Amino acid sequence: MKIKVCGLRDADNLMQVADLAPDFVGFIFYDQSPRFVGDTLDEEVVKALPKSIRKVGVFVNASPDYVLRMAKKYELQYVQLHGNETPDYCRTIQNRGINVIKAFRVDGSFNFSMLNNYKAVSDLFLFDAKGDQPGGNGITFDWGVLKNYDNEKPFFISGGIGLDNLDQLDQLKGMKLYGVDVNSLVETAPGVKDVAKVKELIARLRPVEEEEEA
């Protein structure tokens, strides 16, 4: 189970979270988000993160040029596309050697067949709750609808995941659940993570034997 902590922007907070060794950290490059990194994210701090932590930039209907520019500036290994980006758009990013996480906002009427167009041009999918914002709404969706997914491409689960509902991940056993994406429910304020909550979440999701090996 991979763990992605998204919506970071404060250098000190980022370092504290990095000390907990999540698998991924995410930075939001969407100016309508309260977690937008703006001009405050120190590229040297981001580039100094341990190589074991993969860096993800989150974008919403941004120009490919902007995405590629930010990926180069911050040495992002992954780009998470959270808008209405087309398969051709995903291909453009992927062809530049950057891994693509294509995010989809899911509700009870979501058409899973449309994912077929994205399989070849995405490395991972991410299923998030459909809310007012493209992400970070703090709400969950009915994970039961994932029974309609053909389970071909590994995926992140996102949307309102916190310490109170980790046990419900059991219902996704047998599926290609790659990891969890946490954001608003492990915060003290938008963009500032509650380090104690993140620490507990990681401890609960990682098997004991894995911790012993580390």
Rounded-to-integer distance, Cα 166 and Cα 31, Å: 30
CATH number among 3.10.450.50, 3.40.50.1220, 3.20.20.70, 3.40.50.970, domain 2-213: 3.20.20.70
Rounded-to-integer distance, Cα 180 and Cα 158, Å: 6
* Residues in CB range of 72: below 8 A, 6 or more apart: none
- R_g (Cα) of the chain, nearest Å: 16
Identify the weakest region by mean pLDDT among 95-99, 105-109, 116-120, 189-193: 105-109
Domain boundaries, the chain: 2-213
Residue type, 195: V
The SS3 of residue 112 is: helix
* Residues in CB range of 103: below 8 A, 6 or more apart: 80, 81, 82, 125, 126, 127, 128, 134, 135, 158
Is the confidence at residue 209, as pLDDT, over 60? no
The token duo for 63 is: 């120009």
Q: Is 95 or 159 the better-scoring residue by pLDDT?
A: 95
pLDDT tens per residue, range 153-197: 999 999 889 999 998 898 898 999 999 999 989 999 999 999 999
Query: Percent of the chain, pLDDT > 90?
Result: 79
Rounded-to-integer distance, Cα 155 and Cα 186, Å: 21
* Average pLDDT of the residues in 124-145: 75
* Average pLDDT of the residues in 41-47: 93
Contact 111, 142 (CB under 8 A): no
Contact 74, 49 (CB under 8 A): no
Q: Could you tell me the pTM of the whole model? A: 0.92
* Residue 129 confidence (pLDDT): 85
Identify the weakest region by mean pLDDT among 107-116, 123-132, 142-151: 123-132
The SS3 of residue 32 is: coil
Strands (E), the chain: 2-6, 24-28, 54-59, 78-81, 99-106, 124-129, 155-158, 177-182, 187-189, 192-193
**What does the mean pLDDT of the chain come to?**
91
